[in-house]
Amino acid sequence: MTVRVGYFPHNNSLFVLRHTGILERRLPDVEWVDLRNLPSKPPVDPTNALPTLHSDWLFEDGGYDVIGTGFTPPITGLAHDRDLVYIGISGPRVENGRLVVKAESGIDAVEDLRGKRVGIAHGSWQTTLLLFALDRAGLTWSDIVPVDTDVRGGGGELVSGTIDAWVGAYPGLAEIEAEHALRTLVETDGLFSHPSLWFTRRAFAENNAEQLRAVVEALQESDAWIEAHTREAAQFFVDDVERRGGTASLDAWEAALRGRPFGIHPVTDEFLDEQQHAADLLLANGLLPRSIRVRDAVVPEIGELVTADRAAV
C-alpha cells in the first residue's frame, strides 16, 4: 500500500527524511506530501480560534497518513473531533525560540504586554508558549492583541513596529538578533518542554502497524544521520529556501539544527500533563470549541513500538 507522509521545513526530522531516501528503502511506495502545496484553509481569527490545517489533512482526500508538528496542532485536532493518536515526541527544544521585544521598547516584563500586539505563528508551539507566559503573569489571551505572523517574517514586523513583541524561532530569530538589540521577556526553558511531535489517524495506526513501524524506524535512522551530518542536513533547508526565491544562511541553519534534539521518544506522563494543561488553558481562553482529554489519544502499543525502535538504534 501507499503511505502518505506529510512534511514541511518546520518539522526538521520529516523534512530531512524526505531528502535522504531512508524511508524509501523500507516503504518503496511512500508518497511525500508537501504541506505548503496543499490548498490553503480560510484564515481564523487568532483572538478566538486556532487553525486546524495540520489535523484536517490527516482525514481529507489528498492529505497524508502521518505528520509531525509543534506542540499545539494535536490538541486543536482533538478538540475538533479528529480521532488522532500520538506516535512520539522529541526531547525538549527549549533553545528553539523565545518571547522577545526590542530593547528600547520600554516593555520589561510579560505584565507590560497588556493591550500590546504580539506576533506568533498561530496554531503551533508559539501559541502555547505565549499563553503559558500570559497565564503565569496573571494575564489572559484577551489582555493582548495576538497577531498571526510568518515564522520568519515576524521579526521584520517587530523591527518595523507593526508588532510590539514576538515569539521568535531560530534560524529566523538569529537574523534579527544580529542586527538589532532585543530583550527576552520569557525563555522557553522553565516554561514548557516544547517538543516536536508526530501523530496519525487512529484507524491508520490500528490497521497498518508494519507501515507505522517503518516510518518510526526511518525517522530514528534519519535523525541519527542529522546528528552526524548536521551541515549536510542544513543544506537541504537552504536549497529549499533558494528554490523558492529566498536567501538563507547555511551557518545559521547548521547552528539551529545543532541546538535541537533528534530521535523519537514515546509520549510521557510529563508531556501529556503539559498537553492537558495547554488544552485546558486554550479552552478557558476561548480558543477551543470543547474540552478534551489528551490521554484518549494515547495507544500503548505505539509507545512500545517507539521504545523498541529506540533500543534498536
Residues 176 and 300 in one domain: no
Tens of pLDDT, residue by residue, the chain (313 residues): 899 999 999 999 999 999 999 999 999 999 999 999 999 889 999 999 999 999 999 999 999 999 999 999 999 999 999 999 999 999 999 888 999 999 999 999 999 999 999 999 999 899 999 999 999 999 999 999 999 997 666 899 999 999 999 999 888 898 899 899 999 999 999 999 999 999 999 999 999 999 999 999 999 999 999 999 999 999 999 999 999 999 999 999 999 999 999 999 999 999 999 999 999 999 999 999 999 999 999 999 999 999 976 766 6
Give residue 87's pLDDT: 98
Q: Which helix (H) or strand (E) holds 232?
A: helix 230-243
The three-state (H, E, C) secondary structure of 169-196, written as one string:
ECCHHHHHHHHCCEEEEEECCCCCCCCC
Cis? peptide before 300, omega within 30° of 0: no
Percent helix, strand and coil across the chain, each to the nearest 5: 45, 15, 35
Name the domain boundary from 149, 170, 187: 187
- Return the pLDDT at 56: 96
Instruction: Say what the pLDDT of residue 96 is.
Output: 83
Sheet holding 66-69, edge to edge: 31-34, 4-7, 66-69, 197-201, 84-89
Question: Please, is 123 exposed, middle or buried when counting C-beta atoms within 10 Å of its C-beta (0-12, 13-18, 19+)?
Answer: buried
DSSP, res 99: E
- CA 54, CA 6: separation in Å to the nearest integer? 9
Number of Cβ within 10 Å of residue 109's Cβ equals 11
Q: Which residue, 187, 204, 228, sits at the end of a domain?
A: 187
Choose among 181, 219, 187, 186: nearest CA to 200.
219
The answer to whether residues 252 and 302 belong to one domain is yes
211 and 72 fall within a common domain: yes
- Domain final position from 156, 187, 218: 187
Q: Give the number of other Cβ atoms within 10 Å of residue 168's Cβ.
A: 28
Question: 16 and 161 share a domain?
Answer: no
117-120: strand order across its sheet: 145-148, 117-120, 165-169, 97-102, 182-187
Dihedrals φ, ψ of 204, to 5°?
-65, -45
Whether residues 258 and 172 fall in one domain = no
Claim to verify: residue 210 and residue 270 sit in the same structural domain: yes
pLDDT for residue 127: 96
Assess whether 198 and 307 both reside in one domain: yes
Q: Which three cell numbers mark 282?
A: 486554550
The total of structural domains in the chain comes to 2
For 45: left if phi > 0, alpha if psi spans -120 to 50, otherwise beta; the answer is: beta
Residues 290 and 273 in one domain: yes
**Same domain? 181 vs 212:** no
305 φ, ψ (degrees, to nearest 5): -60, -50
Does residue 249 sit in the same domain as residue 209? Answer: yes
Same domain flag for 15 and 163: no
Tally the residues of the chain: 313
- Distance separating alpha carbons of residues 3 and 28, to the nearest angstrom: 9
Q: Are residues 307 and 202 in the same domain?
A: yes
Residue 266 belongs to a domain with what CATH number? 3.40.190.10
Q: How far apart are CA 267 and CA 17, in angstroms?
A: 21
Residue 80 structural domain: 3-92+194-311
Cα angle for residues 127, 133, 135 (degrees, 5° grid):
100
Which one-letter DSSP state was computed for residue 39? P
